[in-house]
Amino acid sequence: MGALGVVFGDIGTSPIYTMKECMKGITAIQHQEAVLGVLSLMIWALMFEVSFKYIMFVMRADNRGEGGIFALLALSHPKIGSGRKRVGWATMLVLLGAALLFGDGVITPAISVLGAAEGLESFSPELHKYVVPIAVLILALLFAFQSKGTHVLGRIFGPIMMAWFGLLAALGIYHIFSAPQVLQAVNPLLGLKLLYNYPAQAIGLLGCIVLTITGAEALYADMGHFGRKYIARVWAFVVCPGLILNYFGQGAYVLTHVGTKENPFFELAPEGPMRLVLVGLSILAAIIASQALISGTYSLTRQAIQLGYFPRLRI
């Protein structure tokens, strides 16, 4: 439950915006071909990046239980952190990767919370002026609460994320029945065919597909908090099924609502109390998503200090 609450918040909020962004750039393509191709790319991006790359391979490389890019650096240079060290090209590459993750840790909390708060506009456009102040207040409270530690945060956030992934799966299953042909997207050839037939739009589309796997690096960065076994179990039995079913549901909605300009994620829930519940849970999930990356960034900082690549700080 702790791993569910701390590690999977970021990747768990990807359904809020990914399908909407992917469908923006491929409006000229035949509708069903575009939807099934995009779905195929999203599903197989999740499988290859998370299930195969991180769970099966990368997370087996730990430095005394710690994960993250600095763990790989320590494993490749056993004597690092003691005495004078040379900074070669491989070390510079690792430091660049760490810098990119720090950058992700700076922008993701703002973007995730802001994106979820924008769901309030689905009730009334007049609420637009309150979106930014609400997001700022939420982020201030989040950082104030961060010092309680991952054990306390995981215990609080775990049940919320369980409800979130359960709701994602339920909404997805409900809409799959309206267009069961979306299940064809399990065929990876549909995604490859889309990229092959429309090379001019392929680069932009792949940039949007990356949104499906934002937060996957947190699995490895946060491994020291919970261990590989529990992270892998949560992914296999809760997170992966919830995400894939929801993406199928969004695909079914887009197939049956040609030309819609609305965010398919929020449209999965009927208007009224159910949509209010979805917006409320999405804001909570975005807060937890921010916390997941913040925890990973703190872990990275601690390892960088231990290896001598960052000034000594109290964490």
* 45-69 per-position pLDDT tens digit: 999 999 999 888 888 877 676 777 7
Q: What is the pLDDT of residue 246?
A: 96
Give residue 283's pLDDT band: very low, low, confident or very high (50, 70, 90). confident
| pLDDT band, very low/low/confident/very high, at 243 (cuts 50, 70, 90) | very high
DSSP 66: B
Residue pair 155/5 in contact (Cβ under 8 Å)? The answer is: yes
**Is the CB of residue 29 less than 8 Å from the CB of residue 41?**
no
Residues above pLDDT 90, as percent of the chain: 24
SS3 183: helix
| pLDDT for 119 beyond 90 | no
Q: Do residues 71 and 62 lie in contact, with contact meaning Cβ atoms separated by under 8 Å? A: yes
Which helix or strand (DSSP H or E) is residue 16 part of? none
pLDDT at site 25: 66
Q: How far apart are CA 71 and CA 300, in angstroms?
A: 9
Q: Cβ distance 82 to 245 under 8 Å?
A: no
Q: What is the structure's pLDDT at 176?
A: 94
Whether 21 shows a pLDDT value over 90: the answer reads: no
The pLDDT of residue 84 is above 60: no
Q: How many CA atoms lie within 13 A of 150 on its CB side?
A: 25
Question: What average pLDDT does this structure show over 93-108?
Answer: 82
Instruction: Provide the whole-model pTM.
Output: 0.83
64 vs 264: which has the higher pLDDT: 264
Task: Tell me which amino acid residue 124 is.
Answer: S
Query: Using 50, 70 and 90 to split pLDDT, how confident is the model at 134?
Result: confident
Q: Are 196 and 52 in contact (CB under 8 A)?
A: no
Task: List, in sequence order, every residue forming a beta bridge with 66; answer none if it has no partner.
Answer: 63
Highest mean pLDDT among 97-106, 115-124, 249-258: 249-258
Q: How does residue 199 score in pLDDT terms, banded at 50, 70 and 90?
A: confident
Highest mean predicted confidence (pLDDT) among 39-48, 50-59, 199-208, 264-273: 39-48
Per-residue confidence (pLDDT) for residue 128, from 0 to 100: 81
* Cα distance between residue 292 and residue 315, in whole Å: 16
Question: Contacts from 232-240 at CB under 8 Å and sequence distance 24+?
Answer: 232/55, 232/59, 234/3, 234/4, 234/7, 234/8, 235/8, 235/50, 235/51, 235/55, 236/51, 236/55, 238/4, 238/162, 238/165, 239/4, 239/8, 239/11, 239/12, 239/165, 240/46, 240/50, 240/51
In single-letter form, the type of residue at position 212 comes to T
Q: In this model, does residue 274 exceed pLDDT 90?
A: no
pLDDT surpasses 90 at 93 = no
At residue 66, φ and ψ (nearest 5 deg) are -85, 145
Q: Long-range contacts made by residues 198-202, C-beta under 8 angstroms, separation at least 24? A: 198/26, 198/29, 201/25, 201/26, 201/28, 201/29
- Percent of the chain residues past pLDDT 70, beyond the cut: 92
Confidence band for 190, pLDDT divided at 50, 70 and 90 = very high
CB 223 within 8 A of CB 69: no
The CA distance from 167 to 165, in Å, is 5
Is the confidence at residue 78, as pLDDT, over 80?
Answer: no
Mean pLDDT of 115-121: 76
For 183, phi then psi, to 5°, come to -65, -15
Cα 258 to Cα 4, 20, 95, 100, 172: the distances in Å are 35, 13, 46, 38, 18
| 131-146: average pLDDT | 85
